[in-house]
């Protein structure tokens, strides 16, 4: 083998509050790998917060930027990558994720318990889609997204009742 493939070791997807960042960081730590979150990369690149991008430029423009950032990372970053919850719903991003899996990549879907995830997703400040009617919004998004997440994932871990350490262990057993 001349060189390792330039791609993430695993990509985490799932709803806001599922624990992608918390559990992804834990898995990266256990494997001695770097960790990157697509939302953070977008904020760095744009010099603007996620809520501000949504407010001033709108969701379609956010998804376009997110698509560029995610495709860049899928072709270059060799650690654990966590994606914003909505990213697999964008056609181009989803196609890039499907190619990544065809090339042997690992996509981990953290399937959250709605009650647990909704409580956690209230704590983050970068979630403009959940600002109003959080509960109904979360459930509607979940219904649209769960089939897509499930279809593209190579590993599915239900996080209900699991500590981050336990969930990380379950992820690694599935990888």
Rg over CA atoms, the chain: 15
The residue within the footprint of ligand S3P, chosen from 8, 16, 19, 88 (CB under 6 A), is 16
In angstroms, the Cα distances linking 120 to 4, 65, 96, 134 are: 36, 26, 29, 12
**Total residues found in the chain within this entry:** 175
Based on the shown chain and the rule CB under 6 A, indicate whether residue 11 belongs to the binding site for ligand S3P: no
The residue within the footprint of ligand S3P, chosen from 8, 24, 86, 105 (CB under 6 A), is 86
Dist CA 22 CA 93 (whole Å): 23
CB 13, min distance to ligand S3P, A: 9
CB 108, min distance to ligand S3P, A: 14
In angstroms, the Cα distances linking 130 to 3, 67, 77 are: 42, 21, 29
CB 96, min distance to ligand S3P, A: 16
CB 7, min distance to ligand S3P, A: 21
Collapse the DSSP code of 110 into the 3-class scheme (helix H, G, I; strand E, B; otherwise coil) and give the result. Answer: strand
User: What is the binding site for ligand S3P (CB under 6 A)?
Assistant: 16, 20, 39, 50, 84-86, 124, 126-129
């Amino acid at each position: 083998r001349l060189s390792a493939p330039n791609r993430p070791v695993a990509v985490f997807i799932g709803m806001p509050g599922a624990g992608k960042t918390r559990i992804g960081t834990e898995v990266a730590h256990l494997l001695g790998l770097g960790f990157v979150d697509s939302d953070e990369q977008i904020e760095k690149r744009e010099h603007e917060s996620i809520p501000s991008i949504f407010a001033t430029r709108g969701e379609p423009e956010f998804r376009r930027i997110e698509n560029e950032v995610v495709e860049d990372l899928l072709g270059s970053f060799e650690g654990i990558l966590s994606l914003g919850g909505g990213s697999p719903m964008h056609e181009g991003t989803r196609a890039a994720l499907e190619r990544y899996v065809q090339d042997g990549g690992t996509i981990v879907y953290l399937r959250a318990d709605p009650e647990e995830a909704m409580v956690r997703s209230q704590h983050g400040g970068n979630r403009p889609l959940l600002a109003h009617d959080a509960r109904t919004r979360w459930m509607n998004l979940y219904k649209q997204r769960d089939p897509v997440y499930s279809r593209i994932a190579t590993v599915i871990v239900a996080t209900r009742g699991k500590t981050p350490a336990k969930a990380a262990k379950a992820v690694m057993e599935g990888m």
